[in-house]
Amino acid sequence: MPSAGAFFPNFLYFAEMAPNPELNVLQSFMKARIPYWQTLGLQLKEVSPGHAVFEAQVRDDLMQNGILHGGVLASIADSACAVAAISKIYPAAYATTINLRVSYLKPLLQGGFRAEGVCIKAGKNILFAEAEVWNDRGETVCKASSELIVVPFNPGK
């Protein structure tokens, strides 16, 4: 398999500056390729092998009938699951969600919220992850479980 530098020209540059270069490159790679995160205001705060943390703020344009739209919570949970899972296999491969189950436990009306994702199993072809989302008072507002399929990098296609 070609090195990560073959897929990402800046990989060697980042590798020289960062204590954990692959995860720093992953963070930059994900932010650049997923502008949807900016649309929702999702901020990737932490990445470590098998773990990811996102934060965001409730905004008026994300509300439905006075509460945060459930799709925003599903998106932050999915993103936390995905980055946690991908961090276990990157830079050799990528992954994409094939199944997401979200349980909404409490409405979110205002303030900040935080999602933490954990990869619970990294198989050869399928990754399994879970996420929990809390409001700024530390109350759980939703939980999610995710399955992701491993997608090898294929720069020629």
Around 113, how many Cα atoms within 13 Å sit in the side-chain half-sphere?
33
Per-position DSSP letters for 48-61, written without gaps between them: ETTEEEEEEE--GG
pLDDT band at 56 (very low <50, low <70, confident <90, very high): very high
pLDDT higher than threshold 80 for residue 22: no
pLDDT at 24: 76
Domain segments of the chain as ranges = 4-152
Dihedral sign, Cα of residue 70, residue 102, residue 78, residue 157: negative
Share of the chain above pLDDT 70, in %: 83
3-state SS, residue 89? coil
Query: Residue 29: CB partners within 8 Å, gap ≥ 6?
Result: 8, 90
CATH-assigned architecture of domain 4-152: Roll (3.10)
**Are residues 45 and 31 in contact, defined by beta-carbon separation less than 8 angstroms?**
no
Read off the DSSP letter of residue 62: G
